[in-house]
Amino acid sequence: MLAYIFRRLLLIIPTLLGILIINFVIIQAAPGGPVEQMIAKLEGFEGATSRIAGGGAEVSVAGSNYRGAQGLDPALIKEIEKMYGFDKSAPERLWIMINNYARLDFGDSFFRDAKVIDLIIEKMPVSISLGLWSTLIMYLVSIPLGIAKATRHGSHFDVWTSSAIIVGYAIPAFLFAILLIVVFAGGSYLDWFPLRGLTSNNFDELSTTGKILDYFWHLVLPVTALVIGNFATMTLLTKNSFLDEINKQYVVTAKAKGLSPNRVLYGHVFRNAMLLVIAGFPSAFIGIFFTGSLLIEVIFSLDGLGLMSFEAAINRDYPVVFGTLFIFTLLGLVVKLIGDLTYTLVDPRIDFDSREH
């Protein structure tokens, strides 16, 4: 097992490097980079003085450096390119980025005047809150519901719950979020929950119990919106896994020996059926953590990693784009390895070394 883990960890390096290179090449072909955006901003402030973000140098747009319809002074453009590192060729910039990332140095944001790692740490609580609680609640609902559907396959309960699941799966999470706001956040009916933020303005003045209650009070609506749109797949996976195991010969043999239905279900079927479900927990958490909360963050005014990454891509804030890409990809690869190792925890009979031999 240790040899398998070591090989998988070594494979992370070329995989991560390949992803960075592919995305770097794609970014080079995207129009409207940071240099072009800064030039457009300067050309839009005729007769004013603008400070170049992160450069610490004032540039007088009225006067010799500004030429109106003729554009900016070429020397000023060269200075902007140097400030953003675009005075070097693309291979040089790629090599510098890889060397810096190898030292876990992700640089500074072009437009936020802060280090990339500090921005990620600042936005992490929102994304962790949404991803963690959504995933836990999704599993707590999906697994019992999937087992109940499998043991009552074909009944009215199975039909009606399947209909509700399909409806929940078909409607996007952001539409549920809007519906929840209209109904429960002072939209048109009730005003039970806050509309924005992760905590209240007086959060620091509350007691420990008050802080915990305030935190979960703000999470009720966004987490509910995420859970409703994402628990269908896990429920059906659980149901189908149990149905597949229930129809196998060893279950018939266990019943023939006189074991009770619960003993057969939870003593024999459960471990085999839950293999795929439990082992997929790390990937499910990462999926909701990084890809499922952008619109939810926007709707509920939650400033998390999803919103930051989206704004960075729109503004061509390359240090934030590549820094978050590196960290998220590395975390995703490690979580994938953890997911594989979880198989051995659920079923000790699985041996990766024997499989390879």
Give me the mean pLDDT over the 130-136 stretch: 84
- Estimate to the nearest angstrom the gap between the alpha carbon of 269 and the chain centroid: 33
Q: Which of 80-94, 95-109, 236-250, 286-300 bottoms out in mean pLDDT, i.e. has the lowest?
A: 286-300
**Residue 174, domain member (yes or no):** yes
pLDDT bucket at 173, cuts 50 / 70 / 90: confident
Q: What's the CA gap between 169 and 59, in Å, rounded? A: 53
Where does a domain end: 45, 77, 102?
Answer: 102
**Residue 4, domain member (yes or no):** no
pLDDT bucket at 21, cuts 50 / 70 / 90: very high
Contacts 24+ apart (CB under 8 A), 257-265: 265/147, 265/151
Strands (E), the chain: 49-51, 58-60
Tokens of 137: 């609640």
Whether residues 160 and 40 share a domain: the answer is no
DSSP 62-87: SSTTB-GGG-B-HHHHHHHHHHTTTT
Whether residues 77 and 214 share a domain: the answer is no
The predicted pLDDT at position 35 comes to: 79
Q: What does DSSP assign to residue 201?
A: T
The predicted pLDDT at position 167 comes to: 85
The predicted pLDDT at position 286 comes to: 67
| Percent of all residues in the chain with a pLDDT value above 70, rounded to a whole number | 83
The predicted pLDDT at position 54 comes to: 42
pLDDT at 73 over 80: no
Please give the span between the terminal C-alpha atoms of the chain, in angstroms, as a whole number.
13
Q: Give the angle subtended at the CA of 186 by the CAs of 180 and 190, to the nearest 5°.
A: 75
Where does a domain end: 67, 102, 137?
Answer: 102
Give me the mean pLDDT over the 73-86 stretch: 82
Rounded to 10°, the helix 281-291/305-315 angle is 50
pLDDT at 134 over 60: yes
Q: Tell me: the pLDDT tens digits for 198-255?
A: 888 888 888 889 899 999 999 999 988 888 877 888 888 888 888 888 888 888 888 8
Question: To which H or E segment does residue 305 belong?
Answer: helix 305-315
- 284-323: buried (b, 16+ CB within 10 Å) or exposed (e) per residue? bbbbbbbebbbbbbbbbebbbbbbbbeebbebbbbbbbbb
- Total structural domains in the chain? 2
**Residue 132, domain member (yes or no):** yes
pLDDT bucket at 14, cuts 50 / 70 / 90: very high
pLDDT at 163 over 60: yes
Whether residues 199 and 299 share a domain: the answer is yes
What integer best gives the mean pLDDT of the chain?
A: 79
pLDDT at 66 over 70: no
The predicted pLDDT at position 15 comes to: 92
Where does a domain end: 54, 76, 102?
Answer: 102
Give me the mean pLDDT over the 103-122 stretch: 88
pLDDT bucket at 18, cuts 50 / 70 / 90: very high
Q: Is 249 exposed, middle or buried (0-12, 13-18, 19+ CB in 10 A)?
A: exposed
- Beta carbons within 8 Å of 7's beta carbon, 6+ residues apart: none
Return the CATH number at 283: 1.10.3720.10
pLDDT at 341 over 70: yes
**Residue 258, domain member (yes or no):** yes
How far is CA 59 from each of CA 49, 65, 114, 134, rounded to the nearest angstrom? 6, 8, 21, 48
Nearest partner of 328 among 127, 155, 164, 144, judged by Cα: 127
Whether residues 132 and 88 share a domain: the answer is no
Whether residues 229 and 343 share a domain: the answer is yes
- The answer to whether 53 and 110 have CB atoms below 8 angstroms apart is yes
Q: Which of 70-74, 80-84, 113-117, 329-333 bottoms out in mean pLDDT, i.e. has the lowest?
A: 70-74
pLDDT bucket at 269, cuts 50 / 70 / 90: confident
Whether residues 83 and 213 share a domain: the answer is no
pLDDT bucket at 28, cuts 50 / 70 / 90: confident
What residue numbers bound the domain in which 348 lies?
Answer: 116-356
The predicted pLDDT at position 344 comes to: 72
Whether residues 127 and 188 share a domain: the answer is yes
Whether residues 290 and 241 share a domain: the answer is yes
Q: Is 352 exposed, middle or buried (0-12, 13-18, 19+ CB in 10 A)?
A: middle
Q: What's the CA gap between 292 and 296, in Å, rounded? A: 8
Strands (E), 5-57: 49-51
Give me the mean pLDDT over the 334-348 stretch: 74
Give the global pTM: 0.73
The predicted pLDDT at position 52 comes to: 41
